[in-house]
Amino acid sequence: MKAVEIFRLRMSFSPNSSEKIRKEAEDLINDKHYKGYRLITTSFTIEGGYIYAFITMKRPNTY
């Protein structure tokens, strides 16, 4: 079993898209946190007309 899981969110870049993806990332982090995951890193990048959020979390009950 892997101890770390990486989640990727992708959204077309448009007005207010950075706020939308921030909210979506925050909701995913909160949802996973309540399931026992622990946040390691979160990063955002814009590439090819899309904005991406990469979220790295430690799975529950792993060392």
On whether the CB atoms of residues 5 and 61 are closer than 8 A, the answer is no
Residue 42 has phi, psi (to 5 degrees) of -140, 135
Domain boundaries, the chain: 4-58
pLDDT of residue 23: 96
d(Cα 13, Cα 3) in Å, to the nearest integer?
Answer: 32
Please give the average pLDDT of every successive group of 10 residues along the chain, which has 63 residues.
Answer: 93 91 96 96 95 96 80
What topology does CATH give the domain 4-58?
A: Cell Cycle; Chain A (3.30.1070)
Does this model's pTM top 0.85? My answer is yes
